[in-house]
Structure 1
Amino acid sequence: MRLEGPTKRSMMIAGHATSISLEPIFWDALREAAEEDGLPVNALVARIDAERVERPDPPNLASAIRVWLFERRRGA
């Protein structure tokens, strides 16, 4: 397995532009999860972001996405 560094992408989330840096493997997993849920990637990221900001000490968005993808894969 070849490891690649993060790739930054810009997207609109809840009417706000934001940039997110994730490794390509996480971008691929995010795209696959969005397809499985029948959502555009930015809509899925918006849903993850909404869950993230409800936490008492929210992590940054990229970390929240990685954890969300890990938990989804684990079936949590």
Structure 2
Amino acid sequence: MCQVFAGQDPARYASTTRRLRLNGQSTSIRLENAFWDTLDEIARNQGMSTPHFLSTLHSEVLELRGEPENFTSLLRTTCLIHLGRSGQTAAVAAE
């Protein structure tokens, strides 16, 4: 069973830092590549760039709940919600 997870391409769980602006503030976000790939897909589906999508998401969270304690965790769970809704969860785990 663990071979499905252990055998995945190490590039998927390697981390990448991207610099961007969230509501005019320059910041950097470090995430595993698999999460960046999913965020890029979500942004593309929304018809916007990834930085624009992240800034929009951050603005909406600020409006609904205030400053998130851990924005990178929010991004990871956003990816999980997206994958669950699109039925890709099992397919992604098998890659």
For normalisation by structure 1, the TM-score amounts to 0.82
CA contact (8 A) 2:23 2:59 kept: no
Q: Which amino acid aligns with 1:17?
A: S
Q: 1:10 to 1:56 in 2, by over 3 A?
A: closer
What is the aligned counterpart of 1:2 among 9, 15, 22?
9
Pairing 1:73–2:92 present: no
Q: Which amino acid aligns with 1:23?
A: E
Match of 2:68, SS state, is coil
What is the aligned counterpart of 1:60 among 56, 70, 82?
70
Deviating more after overlay: 54-63 vs 28-37 = 54-63
RMSD: 1.8
Unaligned 5+ segments in structure 2 are 1-7, 86-95
The alpha carbon displacement at 1:46 in A equals 1.0
Among the aligned pairs, what percent are the same residue? 28
Match of 1:9, SS state, is strand
Unaligned 5+ segments in structure 1 are none
Which fold has the larger relative contact order, with Cα–Cα distance below 8 Å and residues 6 or more apart in sequence? Answer: 2
Q: Which has the higher helix share?
A: 2
Structure 1 CA distance for aligned equivalents of residues 61 and 43 of structure 2: 17
For normalisation by structure 2, the TM-score amounts to 0.67
The alpha carbon displacement at 1:71 in A equals 1.1
In the comparison of the two structures, how many residue pairs are matched? 75
The alpha carbon displacement at 1:72 in A equals 1.9
